[in-house]
Amino acid sequence: MPIIKYPRIREPLVYEWDRRAQKCGLRHTIYAVNGDQYTGEWLDNMKHGKGTQIWKKTGAIYSGDWKFGKRDGYGSYSILDPVTKEYKKVYTGLWKNDQKSGYGVSFFPSGDRYEGEWSAGVRSGWGRMCYQDGSSYEGQWQQDQPNGQGTLRLPNGNRYEGGWKDGKKHGPGRYFYLDKGQLLEGTWAADIAKCGVLVDFGRAKAPDPTPYPIPKIELNDPAGVLAEAQALLDDSHN
């Protein structure tokens, strides 16, 4: 009996080419149309896992975790200095949905440094900001500004402990004038002390004490003074 051979049915080459084009697993460097390049892991044709991205336009580089095409997890972002041609680290820490989120450290061009919590790309939560002039702020942040309770330390040793709102001293607080040996305890509004009590502490050993004593003030109506101070604070909120 003769043997009949039927031709093998081949699928169109376009399907094979498509399968080969789908990136999954560890791959060599892939170049985008705009010149950006990525080296690392893929899943379902998306950056996923460990990888390094270099942006051609800015020269910036990110190395770390990816999730479905976005920076997600732990990673480091650096920019290229146009003068020295060396990379300067901008941020190292956690990411979520392509934005800084969680705990991380950020380095600013001015020389300032922030270490703490982030949310949706801005400082939010608890963190410490160290400024180039030697001062520092440690406390609560919201929408990239000090908000809540925090402590500001100045280069001369003086410090403020208390409430903050939109980056300014606001609410009950204490200001330690260590150079004068004095303490101001009171209420602030928009960075201005509205009322308070100034007392001496360690004034004799202070490096730069004021030569004038604190005058004694007798209040005939202490309750009225407190009510007036509260009214000033309420006006500042409005």
All structural domains of the chain with their residue ranges: 1-88, 108-233
Q: Which of 57, 53, 52 is nearest to 82 (CA)?
A: 57
Token duo for residue 193 = 């002390």
Contact yes or no for 119/125 (Cβ under 8 A): yes
Q: Look up residue 71 and give its amino acid.
A: R
Q: Which of 114, 111, 112 is nearest to 100 (CA)?
A: 114
Mean pLDDT, residues 182-200 taken together: 94
Average pLDDT, the chain: 86
How far, in Å, CA of 143 to CA of 89, rounded? 23
Mean pLDDT, residues 69-78 taken together: 97
| pLDDT in the model for residue 6 | 54
Q: Look up residue 169 and give its amino acid.
A: K
State in words which class domain 108-233 has.
mainly beta
| pLDDT in the model for residue 124 | 98
Mean pLDDT, residues 205-228 taken together: 67
What is the signed CA dihedral for 182, 184, 185, 187, rounded to 10 degrees? -170
